[in-house]
Amino acid sequence: MIRRRPVLSLLSALAMVFLLGPILLVVAIGFSSGDTVEFPPPGFSLRWFDQALSNASFQQGLLTSLLVAAAATLFALVLGIPVALAVQRRTFRGHKAVETLFLSPAIVPELVLGFALFQQLMVTMRITALGALLIGHTVLLLPYAVRVTGASLALSDPALEEAARGLGAGPLRAFFAITLPVMTPGIVSAAVLSFLTSFNNVPLSLLLKGPGISTLPVEMLNYVQFSYDPTVAAVSTLLLAATVGAALLTERLVGFNKVFSR
């Protein structure tokens, strides 16, 4: 290609440095041998990984995060896929309003949602922190589930289900034999996105915590506010590795662009 866009190239190089530089910096600090956060690190060591992995509140937080993310993802998909089916495959009065309604949790500020759930579910109704956390995260993920699985439905031919019905399959059989398999890439994408969204969430998780129930990002946030050493950098590096792994796996399964085209 002819090099003819110096300004654009410069700006986008700047953007990439701005986006990826800080993340690489954190990784470098995670492997530091120094006692405090410093760059460049004085030497290489894995001591902060040891420190991170043996931290009890991080362990507890990780467990809670995994549990909540997995359960909320499952709930959101179970509730969201039928909605996607209704929105994509049916015509009915108030169609547009229903679609907007199901996307609206993504529009309101997460912190406000967290505050509202804390007040109404935990304080007024005395629902446990874990229960409120699960409800809140499921509400948070529902828009992703509806939208991403809906996108895979919108891309598929509506005649597929009719073809199955015409060949003798009842509505349920047509759904499980044809529609669900056709939606699989969308469901996988939605699951990965939902899981990460829930896992990384801070505002909801921070407001809906209780005794022994606190997620990993919240524990990291607490840690960073009071101590300044490379432990969090080590945790971050591990999370980065896990996220890249999940992203690559998803890419192998269904293709990266599908995950992001939401």
Partner 1 sequence: MSRKATLGLLLAPGLALLAFGFAYPFAVTLFAPPAAEHPDVLGKLGAMLTDSYVLGVFARTVRVAVTVTLVCLVLGFPTAYLIARAPKSRQGLLLALAVFPLLLSTVVRTFAWLVILGRNGLISDAVLATGLTDRPPELLYTEFALVAGLTQLFMPLMILTSYSSLSQIDPGLEDAARGLGASPGRAFRRIVLPLALPGVLVGATLVFAGAVTAFTTPLLLGGSRNRTLATLLYDYANVKLDWGGASAVALIMTVLVLVVGWASGRISAKVATS
Partner 2 sequence: MTPVVQLDAVSREFAGTAAVRELDLTVRRGEFTALLGPSGCGKTTTLRMIAGFLEPTAGRILLEGEDATRLPPERRNIGMVFQSYALFPHMTVEKNVAFGLKMRGIPDGELRTRTGEALELVGLSHLAGRKPKQLSGGQQQRIALARAIAVRPSVLLLDEPLSNLDARLRIQMRQELARIQKETGLTAILVTHDQEEALELADSMVILDQGTVAQQGAPREVFRAPANRFVAEFLGYENFVELPDGRTVTIRPEHVEVLTSESTDSTPSDGTTVDAVLTAVRFRGTDCVVTAVSQGRTVLATSSDFELRSGRQVRVHLPAAHTIDLPRTKQELPTS
Note the residues at the interface with partner 2 (CB under 8 A). 156-157, 159-160, 162-171, 173-174, 177-178, 181-182, 184
Q: How far is the CB of 246 from partner 1 (least distance, A)?
A: 8
Residues in CB range of 158: below 8 A, 6 or more apart: 89
Q: How far is the CB of 136 from partner 2 (least distance, A)?
A: 35
Structure token pair of residue 126: 């005395």
Is the CB of 5 or the CB of 95 nearer to partner 2? 95
Structure token pair of residue 244: 């890249």
Note whether 46 binds partner 1 by CB under 8 A.
no
Greatest extent of the chain over all pairs of C-alpha atoms, in Å: 71
Write out the binding residues for partner 1, residues 196-215 only, by CB under 8 A: 196, 199-200, 202-203, 206-207
Write out the binding residues for partner 1, residues 49-78 only, by CB under 8 A: 78
- C-alpha triplet 86, 90, 92: angle, nearest 5°: 100
Note whether 4 binds partner 1 by CB under 8 A.
yes
Is the CB of 156 or the CB of 199 nearer to partner 1? 199
Note whether 176 binds partner 1 by CB under 8 A.
no
Is the CB of 95 or the CB of 173 nearer to partner 2? 173
178 binds, among partner 1, partner 2, none (CB under 5 to 8 A by kind): partner 2
Number of Cβ within a 10 Å radius of residue 151: 20
Is the CB of 129 or the CB of 153 nearer to partner 2? 153
Torsion angle of the four alpha carbons 6, 11, 12, 13, in this order, in degrees rounded to the nearest 10? 80
Do residues 39 and 29 make contact, with C-beta atoms less than 8 angstroms apart? yes
69 binds, among partner 1, partner 2, none (CB under 5 to 8 A by kind): none
Structure token pair of residue 101: 């309604």
Note whether 109 binds partner 1 by CB under 8 A.
yes
**CA dist 58 → 32, 52, 130, 208 (Å):** 20, 7, 17, 17
**C-alpha to C-alpha distance for 205 and 218, rounded to whole angstroms:** 7
159 binds, among partner 1, partner 2, none (CB under 5 to 8 A by kind): partner 2
Write out the binding residues for partner 1, residues 135-154 only, by CB under 8 A: 135-136, 138-139, 142, 146
| In 175-213, alpha helices (H) | 180-200, 203-207
- C-alpha triplet 56, 26, 258: angle, nearest 5°: 95
181 binds, among partner 1, partner 2, none (CB under 5 to 8 A by kind): partner 2
